[in-house]
Structure 1
Amino acid sequence: MPFKIRQLEAFRAIADSGSVTKAAARLGVSQPAVSRLMTDFSREVGFELFHRRLGVLKPTSDARYLLSEVKRVLDGLDHLDDLHRDITERTGGHIRIACLPGFATSLLPKVMVQFLQDRPGVTVTLEPDRPERILEWIIGQQYDCGITDGFIGHPATESQDLHVRTVCILPKGHPLQSKAMITPEDLAQEKMIHTRRDSRFFYHVAKAFSDAKTPLNSLVEVRQFTTACTMVAAGMGASIVSALDAEEYRSTGIVVRPFLPEITHKITILRPASGARSPVVLDFIDSFLDSVRPFLAKPPRPH
């Protein structure tokens, strides 16, 4: 039947208040308008909706049965209205983010604090794990976005690559801190803390030392740049890390210098290729991009 939403609202308002006058005030319309809405609605459903008892309008037995469904429909519409407002105003929703462990303890908490301050209705799940698991979660649409490295492509994902500058970090007071730039030759006698040997980033670092005919004196192999930063701050050696992570640890007193030849660390933002495109998720990705933009280098030329 061609019911109008206004008819359902008037029906609920009269049932709740017991009065056309009160229903009209609640809906912000005139009493005759409410009466017309009920006359039309009664005719369309085919039975009387109210009877008067002691001056109060009470739903008939048929109307009581109808009322529960009408309230369910209107509550659903109210929810849709709230959802629409959340989407258009970006004030509500839940974001599921998977990331590398280093991001979960350094940059992302700061990004999230700033992002959530303006969105009191938004909630976040942040789950750190290794790149293989992050890719698995994004493919399965268990998370809305992932921040990872070592990504080489997958048809079930959409990806955006970011190339972050890298720097050399040294303990506070290190003799090399007087240099404006560090090269492999400068690090010939240094004990190096570096990423795992099977990583693409280590390949580029090792190649830079090899091209300079300089030994890379391995001390500790780590998975995350943040671990290397912590160890360098404790005076354990030198490292070549993402400028993003080095900045987070600058307050610990480490010496940060540009490294030549230029090496970049590629990180990738992943999203499921199918499924809904949440505006709040896109806004979060924009916030993350703004936070890393000062540390980005131009993408390396393809070989």
Structure 2
Amino acid sequence: MKARKTPRIRQLEALMAVIGNGSMTAAAAELGISQPAISRLLSDLGKEFDFQLFDRRDGRLVPSQEVRLLEPDIRRVVDLMRHISDVSTDITKRKAGHIRIACLPGFATSHLPAVVSEFLRDRPGISMTIEPDRPERILEWMITEQYDFGITDGFFGHPAVEKIDLHMRTVCIFPEGHRLGKLAQIRARDLAEENVIHTRRDSVFFQELERRFRDDQTELRSHIEVRQFTAACELVAQGAGVSVVSELDAVKYKNQGIDFKPFTPKLPHCLSLVRPIHKTPSLITLEFVETFKESLGPYLERS
């Protein structure tokens, strides 16, 4: 008994084209091939199926009973292959796919939504998952390749993670109408009598902030310790103290009860864009990373 060959998709497309048109000439025109080419495709398919494909009635080709039995399955296969072809084209053109993003909680509710919304506006085939969490969890997700891209801080490197460091400009924020608003820029010594809201004591950013106070021979009056800049902005807006945060976060609260001025000497906040080094990124993921980087351009510290 000879081994049965698996029909090729082009043969099945030719079969469905003839069923739909009733003639090889019209089917060949639909597929953009010659009539002899479609005849060969059907001849080979008939040999593989080992039964007659068409009967001729009143000058038209009509499917045999055997083909009618297979037609629903063949149609599903042809439609599925066309769908796969369309989706693969969209992926190549970066109009289809799914991106899994892990980020700091502040980004999930402030800067990121606007960037994502604009990015997806002309890409209806793209979907996203956005998962906010602390830096330690984001690093874990990158190492285990659970997410395509991460936005974090306090990242010192890992052999399984690729990173891009961006140095964000920072400012001193204070309640609207505060005396600090009269200054052109603010030093640590200007905050000698102020309650300071700051990031966690074990963060690199706090340690650098504390060093600025020491250099100015000024005591840092620690009032409230928070994990995220957005929390500091909320507290300052409520009159709980002053803080030094990323300008990116400060501008979101400009008309919500806070004002800000440049902090000097410069105290950049390092933001890290990370992704798994052993997981090949999709084209759409790489495009989004570039889009996100560009969105941060106005807030980057210039050398």
User: Counterpart of 1:225?
Assistant: 229
How far does residue 7 in structure 1 lie from its aligned partner after superposition? Answer: 2.7
Matches within 5 A, 1:43-82: 43=47, 45=48, 47-52=50-55, 57-59=62-64, 61=66, 74-82=78-86
Q: Distance in 2 between matches of 1:219 and 1:129?
A: 24
Contact in 2 for aligned 1:15/1:59 (Cα 8 Å): no
Q: Distance in 2 between matches of 1:273 and 1:145?
A: 11
- Aligned: 1:181 with 2:185: yes
Identity %: 51
Q: Distance in 2 between matches of 1:74 and 1:189?
A: 75
Contact in 1 for aligned 2:46/2:53 (Cα 8 Å): no
Map Cα deviations across residues 229-261 of structure 1 (whole Å, 9 max, x no partner): 111112111100011111121121411111111
How far does residue 67 in structure 1 lie from its aligned partner after superposition? Answer: 6.4
- Aligned: 1:123 with 2:127: yes
User: Counterpart of 1:141?
Assistant: 145
Greater Cα offset, 131-140 or 4-13? 4-13
How far does residue 32 in structure 1 lie from its aligned partner after superposition? Answer: 5.0
User: Counterpart of 1:277?
Assistant: 281
List runs of 5+ in structure 2 lacking aligned partners.
none
User: Counterpart of 1:259?
Assistant: 263
Greater Cα offset, 131-140 or 29-38? 29-38
How far does residue 85 in structure 1 lie from its aligned partner after superposition? Answer: 1.8
Map Cα deviations across residues 152-187 of structure 1 (whole Å, 9 max, x no partner): 111111111111011101110011111100001100
- Aligned: 1:166 with 2:170: yes
TM-score, reference length from structure 2: 0.88
Q: Distance in 2 between matches of 1:73 and 1:252?
A: 57
TM-score, reference length from structure 1: 0.88
Matches within 5 A, 1:202-217: 202-217=206-221
Q: How many residues align?
A: 297
Q: Distance in 1 between matches of 2:93 and 2:183?
A: 50
**2:169 alignment partner, SS class:** strand
User: Counterpart of 1:90?
Assistant: 94
Q: Distance in 2 between matches of 1:181 and 1:275?
A: 45
List runs of 5+ in structure 1 lacking aligned partners.
none
How far does residue 145 in structure 1 lie from its aligned partner after superposition? Answer: 0.4
Contact in 1 for aligned 2:103/2:133 (Cα 8 Å): yes
Contact in 2 for aligned 1:194/1:239 (Cα 8 Å): yes
Q: 165, 189, 202: which is aligned to 1:198? A: 202
Q: Distance in 2 between matches of 1:95 and 1:2?
A: 36
- AA aligned opposite 2:133: D
Q: 1:175 to 1:51 in 2, by over 3 A?
A: closer
Q: Please report the RMSD computed on the Cα atoms of aligned residues, expressed in angstroms.
A: 2.5
Q: 1:270 to 1:46 in 2, by over 3 A?
A: same
User: Counterpart of 2:115?
Assistant: 111
How far does residue 294 in structure 1 lie from its aligned partner after superposition? Answer: 1.0
